[in-house]
Structure 1
Amino acid sequence: MPALWLFITVLVLGLAGFILGRARVMKDADGDIRKLHSLPNYYGSNVMLSAIIPSLGLLVLWLIVQPMIIQANVASHIPTENYADSGALNLLMSDVRRVADGLDIAVSQGALTPHAAQNLTGTDDVRGILGRLGVALGTDVEDDILTAAQEYRIKSNIGGWIMTVAVIAAAILGFAMALKVTNKDHRARNSVEKVVLALLIGAASLAVLTTVGIVFSLIFNTIEFFKLYPAADFFFGTTWAPSFGGGSELGILPLFWGTFYISIISLLVAVPIGLFAAVYLSEYAGPKTRGIAKPLLEVLAGIPTIVYGLFALLTVGPLLVGMFGKDGSFGVNWMQGGSAVITAGLVMGVMLIPFISSLSDDIINSVPQSMRDGSLGLGATKSETIKQVILPAALPGIVGAILLAASRAIGETMIVVLGAGAAARLSMNPFEAMTTVTTRIVSQLTGDADFSSPEALVAFALGMTLFVITLCLNIVALVIVRKYREQYD
């Protein structure tokens, strides 16, 4: 049974458990809710959770573990001389999985019988058969790949049926055990609340473990990169010239300079406009004006970044060339093309305005009204109150909003790709094209990259370095926030 249908079956069993559990306890209490330890819905929820949680947990675990076990067993059908390392083996196994999936499609659509699918040989036109079914293969299917795919298909089908039986059995067993102990004296509320608490703890742990997993994946691949490329040349090199044929120069300084140069320009645009907009909306605008202006301002946050990139490429870039180019209105010939740091910085600044304005507005509104009243009562004007009382009190939150905007700017990709160009250079001229760390990560991991080469592994080193720098920025912001909070507590 497909995993989706199995999931739906478990949910149906859980719903049935809820109905039966509730009905059973009401019957045991002769319909008098006052005789129950817990509310009736808790008894139904206890049966439902007892059926759903163990079975879905088993389903998720099975879907994770089964492919790994099958791949380890099937890989033995591929001769070791056909691959040089684990990366090459993974590529071959991806072909195995595609062929196995194609055989399943062929059988399900009647193009092949199960017997014929298991008796195909490499001399048969396997690629043609699967191609007609929409399964794209880059090369002809060799005997060892086909044999491994047939074995993979058999084991997957057997594993799928075992999974179906095991998951449904777990659901029925949990259903029956919970229904058996359901009576008016059972502490169903305690059981349900313990399960909910465990789910909440699991959700929080999952978020933390995901972060830890990301960090470790970056660390391990970064270590592999530094085994192949000198760390000093990476951190202090001033030339970025990757070459998958060898002889690459992978200095990070030009990339980080482009990243921070564009981010600084975007913040110079977004912070004043966003902060002034927040002050106006929270302190000066009336309810009607605020009700119209704030939603319109926040629409900017919902625009996809690719649209901003196209705006930079087609509108802002040509506009700046028309002003600062050779034949521009200023006649200065500072800008040779539309792709430049200033183009990406301006457009990214527009994108960041709603992040700063919306967050700062909420933070300013959270400042106690008593502080405003006290300042005004002492004779300060409204502008003096904003400048000397409200903004200092809200400064920790405003720093957090600016940090969020800075993190978004540092991690932006599409606007930089379309608006800033792809040149890695160290230059102070904002009218020249430059590139950033994120765009280079994408370029190094696209195409037919050999993941054992420094040219591909450098993407993980770039990501790890960017992560560390962002973490340092967060620490600095936390220190600032704590300092000002101590002043106003």
Structure 2
Amino acid sequence: MGWLMLALLAMLASGAFFVGRVQAERFSGPAAARIHSRPNYHGYFVAMWTFVPALIVALGYGLMGESLVRSQLVSELPANFLKIPGVELGVYLDAVSRAAVHNDYTGADRVFAAITNRYLEIQGVVKLSAIGLALLGATVGFVLARRRIVPGFRARNRVEAGIELMLFLCAAIAIATTVGIIASLLYESLRFFAEIPFWDFLFGTRWNAQTSAEFGALPLFFGTFMIALIAMLIAAPVGLFAAIYLSEYAGPKVRGWVKPILEILAGIPTVVYGFFALLVVAPSIRSLAVWINTTLISSGLTSEPLLAAQPTSALAAGLVMGIMVIPFVSSLSDDVINAVPQTLRDAAYAMGATKSETVKHVVLPAALPGIIASLLLAVSRAIGETMIVVMAAGQRARISADPTADLTTITVQIVALLTGETEFDSPKTLSAFALGLVLFAVTLVFNLIALRVVQKYREKYD
């Protein structure tokens, strides 16, 4: 249905554009001298009024078509089905929908097969009705728009106003999506905090949400920021220095080879990084930690192991995560540094500055806002990473300054809480929304701080 509707809309819009343009091109004589807009704008105007009504019908079908089919099907079900609880009835209708899609209900019981057949019939009627309404709306819009095509008609103004409205709607959708995400997080989080005190959640040191017993999230915050800090200690200097080298010191051939190789790191799936961390980095760190413990104990400096030397560790996850986010820092910083005007460099050289002094005192201050933006993107990527942490850092919620110990993060716990068979009314599931809200708030604070830093140190150049 989706591809058919898209093809239909494309054909209608193309035909309407052709008709509108040809009609405008036929103006001749005195009428041609009074024409306001070019023929293309008349074609766009007719196409717009043909396309938009059909698009509204298509969007309406996409949003409400399944609901209409199910509501009609429920109204025709026997009275015994109406006694089924709403959740169970929804699960039954989901099974009917899947069976209709895959056409695998022939071996089911006769009642289920009959309901599925009726579901397909209603679905076909709704689809045909949507196509008919789309054609009717497109036809009415086409006729009305074609009547407006006269020499003095301001088609260009109407088309530009339509494009402006479309751009506004796109921006409004983005804003509405953000507001919806925040509202859903707030609503579910408030339900959670109605059962669990906010301060106990924020500053509690014991997390055992799987049994709905302990919801102290401080160990999760500690693990998240510790692993992200280790990652940024790797990614920030390596990525920034790589960007400085590529933009200021490397030749064209070296840059042509090194930059694509660095950017390949951004295309590697995170599960591959996770395997690398689990099979290579974590065992190496454990072996090193065991060697350090053995050396310290044998030398008499300590009587007990100093490092945890766990098979999975925060250090392993942080190191591999740092490698993963290097391209976010290096590529963006390189583009920002290259955007600094060459005249600034030439002026510094004319004043007797060396290349390193020019980079330090001229290029980097000019590129500071962009560099901070790249670091922020890397931090957000590190905080939101899940797969590497699951495979290389473990899932134990605890506070430990030992980087060789296993820790967990907020995102890992959110995934653990929302997978499997869970009740959305339990504190266990609602705690995932509370974790998401805190993570959102922390990220927002980081962005505000970064904006303040950018505003304070930004330098404007002509």
Across the aligned residues of Structure 1 and Structure 2, the Cα RMSD in angstroms comes to 2.9
Change in Cα spacing, 1:372 to 1:168, as seen in structure 2 (3 Å) is: same
Aligned to 2:92: 95
Contact 2:45 2:158 in 1 (8 A): yes
Q: Unpaired segments of 5 or more residues in structure 1?
A: 84-88, 130-145
* Partner SS for 2:288: helix
Q: CA deviation at 1:391?
A: 1.7
* Partner SS for 1:228: coil
**1:184 & 1:25 partners in 2: Cα distance?**
8
**2:435 & 2:74 partners in 1: Cα distance?**
33
Q: CA deviation at 1:328?
A: 9.5
Question: Which one is further off, 264-273 or 287-296?
Answer: 287-296
Query: Which aligned pairs between 1:83-232 and structure 2 lie closer than 5 A?
Result: 83=85, 89-90=86-87, 92-103=89-100, 106=103, 111=106, 120-121=110-111, 126=112, 155-232=122-199
Aligned to 1:135: none
Query: Which aligned pairs between 1:3-402 and structure 2 lie closer than 5 A?
Result: 3-29=2-28, 36-68=35-67, 71=70, 82-83=84-85, 89-90=86-87, 92-103=89-100, 106=103, 111=106, 120-121=110-111, 126=112, 155-244=122-211, 246=212, 248-325=213-290, 334=307, 336-402=309-375
Amino acid at match of 2:390: V
Question: Which one is further off, 95-104 or 315-324?
Answer: 95-104
Change in Cα spacing, 1:34 to 1:219, as seen in structure 2 (3 Å) is: same
Change in Cα spacing, 1:53 to 1:94, as seen in structure 2 (3 Å) is: farther
**1:34 & 1:102 partners in 2: Cα distance?**
64
Contact 1:48 1:175 in 2 (8 A): yes
Question: Which one is further off, 278-287 or 335-344?
Answer: 335-344
Aligned to 1:447: 420
Q: CA deviation at 1:169?
A: 0.6
Deviations 1:277-303 (A, max 9, x none): 111111111122112211111111111
**1:320 & 1:166 partners in 2: Cα distance?**
65
Contact 1:306 1:415 in 2 (8 A): yes
Deviations 1:177-231 (A, max 9, x none): 2223224433222221111111111111111111111111111111111122222
Q: Unpaired segments of 5 or more residues in structure 2?
A: 298-304
Amino acid at match of 1:429: D
Amino acid at match of 1:343: A
**2:273 & 2:88 partners in 1: Cα distance?**
36
Q: CA deviation at 1:309?
A: 1.1
Question: Which one is further off, 335-344 or 33-42?
Answer: 33-42
Aligned to 1:139: none
Contact 1:321 1:328 in 2 (8 A): no
Deviations 1:417-463 (A, max 9, x none): 11111111100000011010001000100000111111111111110
Question: Which one is further off, 53-62 or 400-409?
Answer: 53-62
Q: CA deviation at 1:28?
A: 3.3
Amino acid at match of 1:23: V
**1:182 & 1:443 partners in 2: Cα distance?**
61
| 2:452 is aligned with 1:479 | yes
With normalisation by structure 1, the TM-score equals 0.84
**2:398 & 2:83 partners in 1: Cα distance?**
43
* Partner SS for 1:38: coil
Contact 1:100 1:150 in 2 (8 A): no
Question: Which one is further off, 16-25 or 2-11?
Answer: 2-11
**1:193 & 1:222 partners in 2: Cα distance?**
43
**1:44 & 1:66 partners in 2: Cα distance?**
32
Change in Cα spacing, 1:328 to 1:45, as seen in structure 2 (3 Å) is: farther
- Aligned-residue sequence identity (percent) comes to 42
Change in Cα spacing, 1:390 to 1:6, as seen in structure 2 (3 Å) is: closer
Contact 2:287 2:309 in 1 (8 A): no
Question: Which one is further off, 268-277 or 397-406?
Answer: 397-406
Contact 2:393 2:408 in 1 (8 A): yes
